[in-house]
């Protein structure tokens, strides 16, 4: 953390020195006299002193009228507001001088204004320009990958110029064309299917290794029955190294990650922590993920920290696109984790008894099939899908369960099946999570029913039923609106125990306003709400995520005592102003937030507004920094005020956070499972 502050303020000091006035001993080079314009159009020049004398021009001359109009319309330079272009142009002129500071600024920063194309378009409409090539045979696929820095798909003349751009590209391994071919939905020798080009662009942007992609038909070589496909991509700088000091500077966290190892799309993450107190002074977490053809991927992970150690492997294939027909996964994991011991209802203080380690092995397998529905429009495919999926999962515990403080630690087998209806569409927009990059906004409809049977050693069999409904819509003028409702519960099979138990109700709402533009500034507002209500939960079951770590919770809140809610309602507001300011590739935004959490700690759950409920709130301001061309996480420096429950006496806290208060939810179905109470 300390190193990040010194780096940020050092670059800011360099920028301020570069924008200062030149020394008195330096003389300005005389500018050559500018000739009068040959055409009688409007005069354009940086200085009004070069305008000709309108009184000496012939009466009725068009040049005289144009000169008078231009001089009259000139704004008062003393009354003008802050002009970003004027400051940028001034710094650009300064870098062209022969001073040392000017040359340094020119080598480090790109001060020219980049061309941007507003991509707020529906991809379904975006690809209509290639409809005349549908079902033609793809002869060749020409792939052109670009490095991370200094390139633009909208401005093909742009090239790396600064020292940072050239140095970053020298350390970067460009994505291999074989990796890009894995993601494309078009194949050589096969017909070009409708919307395959636009969907391939979206999938390339979601890989994590590519920030921008363009997939199009080469019109120059297209014939009546065959086409060539051109693919252009810009990489993300995939290397990331962090060193973060904690506590009294004797503790630190070191991480080294590569999201595009050897340019093959392999993701390697390593995180090591040292200097912690007993019982374990160190901790390590590592993952390795490998992509394969046909959207298969394999993943292995290992975690060892604070006497907890876990590890596992999995291979999976998701419903990556509406065109995907099959999905599934196979996973095996060994867990040794610390959990809170069940509460004792007889204790008047109703506090947890403590923590203990629990060991289990999990095994799961699931397969899903998406069925295309008939389309009554001969020109277009029905976007709806009927999805059928089934899963088998097992939990295996040690044999000495009698001595375990957790009564539920018994071997368990869960058989579940899901039937659902899904419609998925994607829109493109900017300035949602990122700072100007193209982002895919998922919309659509989802309706699913999950049911099955759970058997456990020494326990009655139970049925499980879960119903989920979700929908979202997007409009460039109205913004984005999402809502979902999920209700799940168990029921005893035997007649003497048919009561409903371990019920869970989850509801979520999210609204983004449209993007407001004020010159080079982009403004958005966010309203979000999440409700997690438990019903007839077992004694000791609590929402371990509390009110802070869960998305949409109170960011930066540090309560004086541990909160263990059984039901929770979270609401948040966030206003973001994306500024045009950029420093060493890091864009800046101003953030304002207001969060609210209403909880109850009654055993079993219930309404969060009943007796014994408590409310907590937080308000704050801060700055957000992100470099879209790297995999570095978003940096947020926030100042929050908490009227109640904060550990500090004045309720204030200055903190750095990378957590976002919201995230998009896709409308594809995955593995059937029991809704998580967390």
Residue 673 domain-assigned? no
Are 107 and 171 within one domain? no
Backbone angles phi, psi at 133, to 5 degrees: -105, 5
Report whether pLDDT(497) > 80: no
Q: Which residue has the higher pLDDT, 248 or 412?
A: 412
For the chain, helix, strand, coil in percent to 5 are 15, 45, 40
* pLDDT per position as a tens digit, 45-94: 433 344 444 444 454 544 444 444 444 444 444 444 445 566 667 766 76
Compute the mean pLDDT over every residue in the chain, rounded to the nearest whole number: 79
Number of neighbours of residue 631 by Cβ within 10 angstroms: 19
pLDDT band at 180 (very low <50, low <70, confident <90, very high): very high
CB-based contacts of 626, cutoff 8 Å, min separation 6: 434, 435, 586, 587, 632, 634, 635
Distance between CA 308 and CA 359 in Å, rounded? 10
pLDDT of residue 188: 92
pLDDT of residue 114: 44
The answer to pTM > 0.75 is: no
| Nearest partner of 249 among 284, 215, 275, judged by Cα | 275
Are 463 and 370 within one domain? yes
pLDDT band at 41 (very low <50, low <70, confident <90, very high): very low
Average pLDDT, integer, range 9-20: 43
Domain containing 95: what range? 85-112
pLDDT of residue 181: 94
Distance between CA 644 and CA 466 in Å, rounded? 37
Report whether pLDDT(439) > 90: no
Q: Which residue has the higher pLDDT, 201 or 497?
A: 201
- For the chain, give the number of residues: 678
Are 97 and 128 within one domain? no
Are 89 and 173 within one domain? no
* pLDDT per position as a tens digit, 592-642: 999 999 999 888 888 898 888 899 999 999 999 888 777 677 788 999 999
Number of neighbours of residue 575 by Cβ within 10 angstroms: 15
Report the SS3 class of residue 156. coil
State CA 328 to chain mean position distance: 24
Distance between CA 631 and CA 645 in Å, rounded? 36
Residue 514 domain-assigned? yes
Report whether pLDDT(20) > 70: no
Range of lowest pLDDT (27-31, 236-240, 335-339): 27-31
> Quick one: tokens of 602?
């009654």
CATH classification at residue 636? 2.40.160
Q: What is the largest CA-CA distance in the chain?
A: 108
**DSSP codes of every residue in 85-151:** HHHHHHHHHHHTSS-HHHHHHHHH---SPPP-------HHHHGGGGGGGTT-EEEEEEEEEE-SSS-
> Quick one: tokens of 40?
């009688």
Distance between CA 617 and CA 381 in Å, rounded? 48
> Quick one: tokens of 65?
């009228």
Are 163 and 103 within one domain? no
Three-class secondary structure assignment of 533-597:
EEECCCCCCCCCCCCCCCCCCCCCCCECCCCCCCEEEEEEEEEEEEEEEEECCEEEEEEEEEEEE
Report whether pLDDT(408) > 50: yes
Distance between CA 124 and CA 390 in Å, rounded? 31
Per the CB < 8 A criterion, the answer to whether 351 and 343 are in contact is: yes
Residue 18 domain-assigned? no
CATH classification at residue 179? 3.10.20.310
Report whether pLDDT(589) > 70: yes
Are 373 and 516 within one domain? yes
Range of lowest pLDDT (10-24, 56-70, 443-457, 511-525): 10-24
pLDDT of residue 123: 42
Per the CB < 8 A criterion, the answer to whether 435 and 628 are in contact is: yes
Residue 417 domain-assigned? yes
pLDDT of residue 122: 42
Residue 272 domain-assigned? no
Distance between CA 284 and CA 306 in Å, rounded? 10
CA distances (Å), 636 to each of 527, 542, 633, in order? Answer: 19, 30, 10
pLDDT of residue 54: 45
Backbone angles phi, psi at 508, to 5 degrees: -145, 140
* pLDDT per position as a tens digit, 344-370: 555 545 555 566 677 889 999 999 999
Are 97 and 127 within one domain? no
Residue 651 domain-assigned? yes
Distance between CA 597 and CA 530 in Å, rounded? 10
Per the CB < 8 A criterion, the answer to whether 606 and 535 are in contact is: yes
> Quick one: tokens of 66?
């144009």
Average pLDDT, integer, range 517-521: 87
Distance between CA 469 and CA 448 in Å, rounded? 7
> Quick one: tokens of 287?
């993952």
Beta bridge partners of 503: 535
Residue 283 domain-assigned? no
Report whether pLDDT(499) > 80: no
Are 221 and 320 within one domain? no
pLDDT of residue 194: 81
pLDDT of residue 217: 92
CB-based contacts of 539, cutoff 8 Å, min separation 6: 342, 343, 344, 345, 603, 604
Best mean pLDDT range from 128-132, 153-157, 248-252, 638-642: 638-642
Distance between CA 161 and CA 169 in Å, rounded? 11
Distance between CA 215 and CA 126 in Å, rounded? 12
pLDDT of residue 358: 77
Residue 217 domain-assigned? yes
Average pLDDT, integer, range 223-237: 92
Are 409 and 430 within one domain? yes
Which long-range contacts does 382-385 make (Cβ < 8 Å, 24+ apart)? 383/322, 383/423, 383/424, 383/425, 383/444, 384/421, 384/422, 384/423, 385/322, 385/421, 385/422, 385/423, 385/424
Number of neighbours of residue 89 by Cβ within 10 angstroms: 15
CB-based contacts of 500, cutoff 8 Å, min separation 6: 489, 490, 491, 535, 536
- Of 235, 256, 273, the domain-final residue: 235
| Nearest partner of 506 among 526, 489, 527, 481, judged by Cα | 489
My answer on whether omega of the bond before 279 falls inside 30° of 0, hence cis, is yes
Number of neighbours of residue 27 by Cβ within 10 angstroms: 7
In this structure, what DSSP letter does residue 353 have?
Answer: -
Report the SS3 class of residue 513. coil
Per the CB < 8 A criterion, the answer to whether 369 and 388 are in contact is: yes
Per the CB < 8 A criterion, the answer to whether 449 and 675 are in contact is: no
Q: Which residue has the higher pLDDT, 155 or 101?
A: 155
Are 497 and 614 within one domain? yes
Beta bridge partners of 500: 491
> Quick one: tokens of 412?
């368990």
pLDDT of residue 2: 43
Per the CB < 8 A criterion, the answer to whether 375 and 382 are in contact is: yes
Report whether pLDDT(128) > 70: no
pLDDT of residue 281: 82
Q: Is 667 left (phi over 0), alpha (psi -120 to 50) or beta?
A: alpha
pLDDT band at 16 (very low <50, low <70, confident <90, very high): very low
Range of lowest pLDDT (61-75, 178-192, 250-264): 61-75
Are 96 and 160 within one domain? no
* pLDDT per position as a tens digit, 278-327: 677 888 999 999 999 889 999 999 998 877 889 999 999 999 988 899 99
Give CA angle at 158 (156, 159), nearest 5°.
Answer: 120
Average pLDDT, integer, range 486-508: 85
Q: What is the total count of domains within the chain? A: 3
Q: Which residue has the higher pLDDT, 408 or 309?
A: 309
Are 137 and 92 within one domain? no
| Nearest partner of 262 among 179, 145, 164, 141, judged by Cα | 179
> Quick one: tokens of 73?
């319309």
């Amino acid at each position: 953390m300390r190193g990040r502050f010194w780096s940020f303020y050092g670059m800011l000091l360099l920028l301020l020195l570069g924008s200062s006035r030149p020394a008195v001993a330096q003389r300005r080079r005389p500018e050559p006299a500018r000739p009068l314009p040959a055409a009688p159009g409007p005069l354009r020049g940086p200085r009004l002193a070069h305008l000709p004398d309108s009184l000496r021009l012939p009466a009725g001359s068009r040049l005289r009228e144009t000169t008078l109009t231009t001089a009259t319309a000139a704004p008062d330079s003393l009354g003008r507001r802050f002009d970003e272009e004027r400051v940028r142009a001034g710094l650009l002129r300064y870098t062209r001088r022969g001073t040392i500071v000017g040359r340094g600024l020119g080598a480090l920063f790109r001060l020219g204004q980049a061309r941007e194309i507003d991509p707020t378009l529906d991809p379904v409409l975006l690809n209509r320009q290639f409809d005349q090539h549908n079902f033609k045979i793809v002869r060749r696929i020409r792939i052109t990958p670009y490095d991370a820095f200094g390139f633009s798909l909208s401005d093909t003349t742009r090239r790396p110029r600064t020292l940072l751009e050239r140095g970053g590209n020298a350390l970067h391994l460009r994505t291999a064309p074989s990796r890009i071919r894995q993601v494309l939905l078009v194949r050589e020798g096969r017909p070009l299917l409708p919307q395959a080009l636009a969907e391939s662009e979206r999938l390339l942007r979601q890989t994590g290794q590519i920030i921008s992609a363009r997939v199009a038909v080469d019109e120059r070589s297209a014939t009546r029955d065959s086409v060539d496909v051109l693919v252009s991509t810009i990489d993300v700088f995939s290397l990331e190294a962090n060193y973060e000091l904690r506590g009294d500077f004797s503790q630190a966290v070191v991480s080294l990650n590569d999201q595009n190892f050897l340019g093959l799309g392999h993701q390697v993450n390593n995180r090591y922590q040292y200097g912690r107190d007993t019982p374990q002074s160190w901790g390590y977490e590592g993952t390795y993920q490998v992509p394969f053809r046909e959207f298969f991927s394999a993943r292995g992970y290992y975690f060892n920290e604070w006497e907890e150690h876990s590890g596992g492997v999995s291979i999976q294939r998701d419903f990556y696109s509406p065109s995907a027909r099959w999905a599934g996964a196979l996973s095996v994991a060994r867990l040794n984790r610390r959990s809170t011991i069940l509460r004792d209802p007889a204790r008047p203080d109703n506090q947890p008894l403590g923590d203990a380690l629990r060991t289990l092995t999990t095994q799961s397998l699931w397969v899903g099939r998406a069925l295309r529905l008939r389309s009554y429009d001969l020109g277009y495919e029905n976007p709806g899908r009927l999805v059928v999926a089934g899963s088998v999962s097992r939990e295996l515990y040690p044999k000495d369960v009698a001595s375990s403080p957790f009564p539920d630690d018994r071997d368990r087998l869960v058989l579940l099946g899901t039937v659902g209806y899904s419609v998925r569409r994607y829109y493109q927009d900017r300035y949602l999570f990122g700072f100007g990059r193209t982002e895919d906004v998922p919309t659509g409809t989802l309706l699913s029913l999950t049911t099955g049977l759970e058997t456990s050693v020494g326990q009655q069999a139970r049925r499980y039923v879960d119903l989920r409904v979700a929908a979202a819509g997007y409009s460039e003028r109205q913004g984005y609106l999402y809502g979902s409702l999920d209700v799940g519960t168990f029921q005893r099979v035997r007649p003497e125990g048919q009561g409903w138990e371990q019920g869970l109700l989850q509801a979520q709402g999210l609204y983004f306003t449209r993007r407001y533009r004020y010159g080079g500034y982009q403004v958005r507002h966010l309203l979000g709400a999440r409700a997690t209500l438990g019903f007839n939960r077992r004694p000791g079951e609590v929402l371990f995520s509390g009110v802070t770590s869960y998305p949409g919770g109170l960011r930066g809140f540090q309560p004086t005592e541990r909160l263990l809610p059984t039901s929770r309602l979270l609401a948040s507001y966030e206003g973001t102003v994306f500024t045009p300011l950029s420093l060493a590739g890091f864009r800046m935004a101003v953030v304002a937030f207001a969060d609210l959490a209403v909880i109850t700690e009654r055993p079993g759950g219930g309404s969060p507004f009943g007796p014994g409920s408590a409310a907590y709130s937080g308000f704050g301001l801060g700055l957000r920094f992100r470099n879209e061309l790297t995999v570095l996480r978003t940096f947020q420096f926030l100042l929050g005020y908490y009227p109640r429950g904060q550990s500090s006496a004045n309720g204030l806290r200055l903190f750095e956070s990378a957590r976002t208060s919201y995230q998009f939810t896709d409308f594809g179905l995955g593995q059937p499972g029991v809704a998580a109470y967390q």
